[in-house]
Structure 1
Amino acid sequence: MSEVMLVNGLTFKHNKQNRWLKKPEVFALGPIELSVNRSETIAIIGENRSGKSLLAKLLVGAVKADEGEIFLSNVTYNAAKKKSTKSYNSSNDIRMIFQHSTEAMNPGIPVGRILDEPLALNTDLDEKARRRRIEETLVQVGLLRDHYYFYRHMLSDGQQQRVAIARAMILQPKILVADEPFAALDPSVRSQTVNLILSLQKELGLAFIFITHNLGIVRHIADKIIVMENGKIVESGKTETIFRWPQHKMTKKLIESYQSLVPQQTLT
């Protein structure tokens, strides 16, 4: 597998003033070292407030880091300044899938316009080429070309989730990032979504980074696991190795909690 992203020294510090406390609350993340390979699936796990969601936002550029560099698509850029020595838009190569697909879709705008917006803003494609890309992407995620004209209320939950994936894929990224992408889905839609992502990975070589509390899904689809605690990566490794021989106390806690629920838990 070839490397599609390398993260060096990614650091973030947040000071939050609490009026009931004399000192501000300080949350520091990093420094984070991370590499992602083509077609690789990485799961980021940890307890609440461990920094998982913040790391996802830093990777896609939704939050500016204080320090660090990200090597992506043969360009190294400063994650704090969001600048590189080349003309570069990181969002074209790494995109985010929204957790709540219903909330992410404007009910007054048809699917075609939703998917056209990122193309119009980030590419030089003309209207005809954008329309062709949109229809191709709809088919890729298991929808019909005619869904171009559909509004949110005309779509099932599963179809709305596929539109969310199509929007993340429309710029043909190399990496998809998702924060709890399966949490709001019922079991049947969750299973369909997992299978769709696995199929797209096989077809396109996409890397997938996802945050979840569902260790059943992690064990089913992840190649590698990253465990976070208090803004730090405390353990990482191949999925089966982490499940069989966890080393850090936080990893052991998460695995033991999962194993106690296995008889009642469906993996997909």
Structure 2
Amino acid sequence: MVEDLSKRFGDHLAVDGVSFTLAPGTSLALVGESGSGKTTTARMVVGLERPSAGTVRLDGRDRATRHRGRAERLARAREIQMVFQDPYLSLDPRVTVGACVEEGLRLHTDLDAAARRERVAELLDQVGLGEREAAAPPRRLSGGQRQRVAIARALSVEPRVLVLDEAVAALDVSIQAQILALLATIRRDAGIGYLFVTHDLAVVRHIADEVLVLKSGRVVESGPTDRVLDAPRHPYTRLLLDSVPRRGWTPGSG
């Protein structure tokens, strides 16, 4: 899917030759500290950044190929959707949650108004929200509820791949667990591939089948999640694992 992807900003090489394959219904985590290149990689996969080199392919098609007309642009946009760390920034504060979700249906489907409303209700129910939340503006919802709305909106266009950029980083531990369980259920039921971007190895075991560890824009380790987390081979991976708080850990204990 992704081959030798690179991105240069002036003299800075932010991503350097990243390659990976994401099979349908699987989940891959891009892991690394801030500045490792993981978010830039994700943005290139979605199409928010143009690669300096390399390709992003879906079903053998290079997604960087120039689109021919509005219909093709919309079709490409449906294939890969993104959920950001702060869902409030991606939700229109002037309209209700239901209208936020319906926007994608209006743009990408031929459903009439009644069918769109029914589909919105189904999508919100899928992520554990109901009529009360649908009628509220985003500011009236908690952070976890807003993240559920962002997931529902991304799912509305039936994407092949869902890119989640630090999607649970701003949530407390109990809400993180709820969102991760929700994502696991959706992946199992819908067969969507997940590209999960995180600096937090504590959540990786719960969401990813495979892991790519990035340092300074390059892949330093990759493999099945259990192998990478239980028997890391690269010193940087071991450093990341050592930074994860463990049972009995207290600030200042090292």
What TM-score do you get using the length of structure 1 for normalisation?
0.83
1:114 correspondence with 2:114: no
Matching residue within 222, 234, 237 for 1:236: 222
Return the alpha-carbon distance in structure 1 between the equivalents of residues 152 and 63 of structure 2: 28
Match of 1:8 in 2: 3
Q: How big is the shift at 1:249?
A: 2.4
Pair 1:128-2:114 in alignment: yes
Runs of 4+ with >6 A deviation: none
Change in Cα spacing, 1:78 to 1:182, as seen in structure 2 (3 Å) is: closer
Give structure 2 stretches of 5+ with no counterpart: 250-254
Aligned-partner Cα distance in 1 for 2:54–2:26: 23
Question: Aligned match of 1:184 in 170, 177, 186?
Answer: 170
User: What residue number does 1:76 align with?
Assistant: 61
The alpha-carbon distance between structure 1 residues 245 and 13, as it changes in their structure 2 partners (threshold 3 A), is same
Q: How many residues align?
A: 246
* Mapped partners of 2:233, 2:67: distance in 1: 38
- Does the 8 Å contact 1:67/1:78 carry over to 2? no
TM-score (norm 2): 0.88
- Matched with 2:87 is 101
Take 2:109 and 2:66, find their aligned partners in 1: how far apart are those partners?
Answer: 19
Report the CA distance shift for 1:166/1:224 in structure 2 as closer, same or farther (over 3 A): same
The one-letter code matched in structure 2 to 1:33 is: S
Query: Structure 1 residues 205, 48: CA separation in 2 closer, same or farther (over 3 Å shift)?
Result: same
For 2:204, the equivalent position in structure 1 comes to: 218
Q: Distance in 2 between matches of 1:147 and 1:46?
A: 35
Q: CA deviation at 1:75?
A: 4.8
Q: In proportion to residue count, which structure has more strand?
A: 1
Higher mean alpha-carbon deviation, 143-152 vs 36-45, is at 143-152
Q: Deviations over 1:226-266 (max 9, x none)?
A: 001111112110011112221222212212322xx21257x
TM-superposed CA distance for 1:128, in Å, is: 3.1
Q: 1:228 to 1:116 in 2, by over 3 A?
A: same
Aligned-CA RMSD value = 2.1
User: Which structure has more RCO (C-alpha within 8 Å, separation ≥ 6)?
Assistant: 2
- Give the 5 Å matches for 1:1-268: 6-15=1-10, 25-72=11-58, 74-79=59-64, 81-83=65-67, 87=72, 89-145=75-131, 147-258=133-244, 261-264=245-248
Structure 1 residue identity aligned to 2:171: L
Change (3 A) 1:39 1:118: same
* Shift in CA distance, 264/111, structure 1 to aligned 2, threshold 3 Å: farther
Query: In the alignment, is the contact (CA less than 8 A) between 1:68 and 1:78 conserved in 2?
Result: no
- Aligned equivalents of 1:235, 1:82: Cα separation in 2: 33
Report Cα offsets for 1:192-235 as digits up to 9, x if no partner.
Answer: 11111111111111221111122111123321110011111121
- Structure 1: which 5+ runs fail to align? 1-5, 16-24
Supply the distance in 2 between the matched residues of 1:147 and 1:153 (Cα, whole angstroms). Answer: 11
Distance 2:204 2:148 in 1: 20
1:190 shift after superposition = 1.2
Q: Residues 31 and 214 of structure 2 are in contact (CA less than 8 Å); yes or no, is this contact kept in structure 1?
A: yes
What do the CA deviations read for 1:80-99 (whole angstroms, capped 9, x no partner)? x5548x94632212111121
* Percent identical residues: 35
State whether residues 42 and 223 of structure 1, in contact with CA within 8 Å, keep that contact through their aligned partners in structure 2.
Answer: yes
In structure 1, distance between residues paired with 2:131 and 2:60 = 35
8 Å CA contact 1:60–1:90 kept in 2: the answer is no
User: Secondary structure in 2 aligned to 1:92?
Assistant: helix
